[in-house]
Amino acid sequence: MQIHSNYPLQLLNSFGFAAFAQEFVSVKTNSELFDAISYANSKQLPWQIIGGGSNIVLRSNLPGLTIQMQILGKKLVRETESQFVIDVGAGENWHDFVAWTIENNYLGLENLALIPGTVGAAPIQNIGAYGQEVEAFIDSVEVIDTALMKPTSDQESVSVVLSNVDCQFTYRDSIFKSNPSRFVVTQVRFTIPKKWLANIQYAELSKQFFDNPSPSAKDIFLAVCQIRKNKLPDPNLLGNAGSFFHNPVVSSSQFEVLKGRFPDIIANATITPQGKKYYKLAAGWLIDQCGFKGVRLGQIGVYDRQALVLVNHGGASASDLLELASQIKEKVHTVYGVDLVQEPITMPARSD
């Protein structure tokens, strides 16, 4: 395990912000991860995990030890009459994993294609897109539970497997997101049903198949990739973290009031397993209607083709980004009475 000091992170975050880790290590096994956390604890250093860097906002200096998750590997564990069971390392690229499932005829994840980040981040955020959420395919998640770590602990004593129910999944949330310093995801077990049905109910996706009512999983995979490429900038060309805000969730009564005031408001209705109806408002539409699409504040701005995406035009900082985000949240709240919640995680900054 090689630990680096004052390590540059500009290439490890999709906003491209110039940032440095006080100390940095890349881990490729559960044992290395355990050793890295143990090292930080022994030195009384704060520590944080980064994966693909596509869902974080980095300030100029990160305190303590920054651990890059690079635990790889994906394999079919077993096959039953009804499903495929697949284990995947937390450091695997999410989109590459989805492409691999399509190539191997493990169908169902195609709506989640081209979401940036790692497999380990998928359950943390409970990622979702185009009418699908990852929780529907997660059997269990293997983690290191740092609450169990003591000076005498070994790796096996702190490795825990949490079931789907244990993960406490809700919209873009989970027990991992609620307890970021406790659970470190090392592996995700997926169950992919053999009985496949096309999921093209989401309006934007449905339009792609007006002339093809029975698309294949590969057709949907390619369509999702094209939609995302058309409306989201390539972070290699224009720094961004994809959608910067969650779509706000409101009750049926709240939605009716908003619909009365703003007849063109865009929302998707959802029914909970308990039969309760709620609405997810299109955050991008709210931001656009408030006049922010294409707006720039120095070198930070709102993407001119999708108001939900904030972009670094080059040389911007986390402070610039958070200032613009604050202005957007304040205006949307004033106009619509709706609170926007930031999706990327703002990492801590060193005080020195």
Radius of gyration of the chain (CA): 21
Q: Give the active site residue among 14, 26, 243, 317.
A: 243
Sign of CA dihedral 263, 339, 333, 245: negative
> What is the distance between the alpha carbons of residues 331 and 315, in angstroms, rounded to a whole number?
26
The 10 Å Cβ neighbour count of residue 89 is 24
∠ CA 341-318-344 to the nearest 5 degrees? 35
Q: Give the active site residue among 140, 172, 189, 317.
A: 172
Q: How far is CA 238 from CA 79, 157, 256, 306, 309, in A?
A: 42, 44, 38, 13, 11
From the number of C-beta atoms within 10 Å of its C-beta (0-12, 13-18, 19+), residue 11 rates as exposed
Is 343 a residue of the active site?
Answer: yes
> What is the distance between the alpha carbons of residues 253 and 154, in angstroms, rounded to a whole number?
52
Helix, strand, coil % in the chain, rounded to nearest 5: 30, 30, 40
Task: Tell me phi and psi for residue 132, to 5 degrees.
Answer: -135, 145
Is 172 a residue of the active site?
Answer: yes
238 CB-near residues (< 8 Å, 6+ apart)? 303, 311, 312, 313
**Cβ contacts of 262-266, under 8 Å, gap ≥ 24:** 262/289, 262/336
**Single-letter amino acid code for the residue at 135:** E
Is 54 a residue of the active site?
Answer: no
**Single-letter amino acid code for the residue at 292:** F
Q: Give the active site residue among 32, 204, 323, 343.
A: 343
Specify whether the CB–CB gap between 175 and 167 falls below 8 A.
Answer: yes
Name the residues annotated as catalytic: 172, 243, 343
